[in-house]
């Protein structure tokens, strides 16, 4: 079994140029997946989306460096005007009440990816803990900015509380996917 690696490292080419192209492809595809997940939304003022799930699962699959670079690429694409934020694209998303969540994605991706590299995505209990930690990081950044722009009670009522149940469901889904993925793909990895 690979150590200090993530699931996508199972197929990563050993040749340097091919490995770089592999990583770039992962980052670009992952950033588009995160962007598309922003468009699956319910409610507001901070809508329920699949972004947190996409950020954390991609980070666990890609690792700290590729996971955070993927999230940075996603933010860059949104800043460039692609409709990758819940309110569309552009700088206004960072100035609005969801801006803290967007910034929190980068830090959550790094931490979740780092934990996956340490093998936390290979067991159910550590996967649950890694996903909770990632969500808490997103909540801290998101809530702090939202509270700064509005007030703490309003920010908790609309920016944290409604998402706890949905995030627990996302954590359960990630927990079903990640350790199981290692069991399936770990057996079929190419010879070293």
User: Domains in the chain, start-ordered, CATH in brackets?
Assistant: 7-187 (1.10.1760.20)
Over residues 120-173, the pLDDT tens digits come to 999 999 999 999 999 999 999 999 999 999 999 999 998 899 899 999 999 999
The model carries a pTM of 0.91
Cα–Cα dist 14/29, whole Å: 21
- The angle formed by the CA atoms of residues 168, 131 and 68, to the nearest 5 degrees, is 130
Over residues 16-52, the pLDDT tens digits come to 999 999 999 999 999 999 999 988 878 766 778 899 9
Of the chain, the percentage scoring pLDDT greater than 70 comes to: 93
Cα–Cα dist 53/175, whole Å: 11
């Amino acid at each position: 079994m690979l150590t200090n690696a993530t699931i996508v490292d199972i197929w990563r080419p050993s040749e340097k140029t091919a490995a770089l192209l592999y990583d770039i492809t992962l980052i670009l595809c992952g950033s588009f997946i995160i962007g598309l997940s922003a468009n699956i939304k319910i409610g507001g003022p901070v809508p329920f989306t699949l972004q947190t799930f996409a950020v954390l699962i991609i980070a666990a699959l890609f690792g700290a460096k590729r996971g955070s670079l993927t999230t940075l690429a996603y933010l860059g694409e949104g800043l460039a005007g692609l409709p990758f934020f819940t309110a569309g694209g552009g700088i206004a998303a960072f100035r609005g009440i969801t801006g803290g969540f967007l910034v929190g994605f980068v830090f959550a991706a790094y931490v979740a990816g780092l934990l996956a590299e340490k093998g936390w995505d290979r067991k159910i209990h550590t996967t649950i803990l890694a996903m909770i930690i990632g969500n808490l990081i997103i909540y801290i950044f998101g809530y702090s900015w939202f509270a700064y722009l509005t007030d703490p009670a309003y920010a908790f009522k609309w920016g944290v509380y409604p998402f706890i149940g949905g995030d627990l469901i996302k954590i359960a889904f990630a927990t079903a996917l990640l350790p199981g993925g290692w069991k399936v793909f770990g057996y079929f990895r190419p010879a070293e």
